[in-house]
Amino acid sequence: MFQALYNCFWWERLWLPANLTWADLEDRDGRVYAKASDLYITIPLAFVFLVVRHLFETYVATPLAGLLNVKEKIRLKATPNPVLEKFYGTTSKHPKQADVEMLSKKSGCTVRQVERWFRRRRNQDRPSLLKKFREASWRFTFYLIAFIAGMAVIVDGFGCCGSGWCPQELSLCFQSMLPSQYWYYMIELSFYWSLLFSIASDVKRKDFKEQIIHHVATIILISFSWFANYIRAGTLIMALHDSSDYLLESAKMFNYAGWRNTCNNIFIVFAAVFIVTRLVILPFWIMHCTVVYPLELYPAFFGYYFFNFMMAVLQALHIFWAYLIIRMAQKFITGKVVEDERSDREETDNSEEEEEKNGPLSNGHPVLNNNHRKTD
């Protein structure tokens, strides 16, 4: 049974065009081809990345945060209350007004005290500024090194057709592999596995689900391009992503350090690079090569449709993030404070005097006399 499933999974017509077989991809005459078994090493390497990340954040990112004067906000802790804690952990972190009144009776607290307790409790669960800085530092370091390595791999790949990156070469399924391409693939795939393994403990943002989809789609694309020997197309796609990612992470680092002008200037560069690489170069050059040119060489097959479908999913995520980036760009161009559109805002704890002045609270927000909500 397992042998039958194995044979079905590795059926040549799923992965390769009609004029190509697995026998054609056997190493010979000094030409080395990618093999599925090569990717087994990426799982243990992903755990190595997690260990390296922990050491980096402890011994590099934390001292760097101190040098850049990254300061933590003092957060008032919610007083222990079993009734409220049980509701917070099992029902909702944002109780409705009816729930607040019910909890007030059960806990013996006033409605205002219950609302304040939930506000402080939510703030306790939000990631600290130091955690955000350390995470951004780690990703910045990897993406910068990966981008430099990607450029080196691209230079190393110049060869046939005058250039190993011409459209015809990008569409081929029988490209031989260079040692630099092997290591670039293994390191990139291992890193994205590590991101997927750590996503539950990383800083959660509003696009948490989109991040999971992105990581899964990226892992599938990298793996499939390796199985089907789309080595050059995969290399370009990975390098294209790294070209803007390190700029975003560096902008975050300066934002957490309070260097607003530097953050804004880097963000402008990041936005330009992101739009050019992911909304112009990726769809109109690389995807054009993977969609149009293969059909000139061989009939469409399952792998062709699957690869380009996953590319379309990735492109849809790029459009979604481009929308958020443009919104952020509009904010600081018009003089508003730049914030990460994906992040939850810190909820401030109003004093008794402010609460009396602004009137009664409604689900954690003071209601003003003019019927407009004041944002915490």
Mean pLDDT value across residues 133-137: 93
Q: What is the pTM of this model?
A: 0.76
Q: What are the angstrom distances between the C-alpha of 308 and each of 34, 137, 292?
A: 20, 33, 11
Residue 357 has which token pair?
């002045």
pLDDT beyond 90 at 51: yes
Q: Is residue 118 packed enough to be buried (19+ CB in 10 Å), middle (13-18) or exposed (0-12)?
A: buried
pLDDT of residue 31: 73
Q: Which domains does the chain have, with CATH numbers?
A: 48-68+128-334 (no CATH), 82-125 (1.10.10.60)
With beta carbons less than 8 A apart as the criterion, state whether 173 and 228 touch.
yes
Output the six-digit token pair for 325: 């980036």
Higher pLDDT, 170 or 369: 170
Q: Which of 128, 131, 111, 123 is nearest to 78 (CA)?
A: 123
CB 169 within 8 A of CB 161: yes
- pLDDT at residue 103, rounded to an integer: 85
Give the residue-averaged pLDDT of 256-268: 88
- pLDDT at 376 (0 to 100): 35
Q: Which two tokens stand for residue 328?
A: 């952020």
pLDDT of residue 49: 96
C-alpha distance across the termini of the chain, in Å: 60
pLDDT exceeds cutoff 90 at 123: no
Structure tokens at 272: 């330009």
Q: What is the pLDDT of residues 278-297, one digit of tens each?
A: 999 989 888 888 888 777 77
- pLDDT greater than 50 at residue 357: no
Rounded to the nearest integer, the mean pLDDT of the chain is 79
CB neighbourhood size of 46 (10 A): 19
- What is the model's pLDDT at position 44? 96
Greater confidence, 209 or 250? 250
Q: Which residues contact 316 (CB under 8 A, 6 or more apart)?
A: none
Cα distance between residue 118 and residue 93, in whole Å: 7
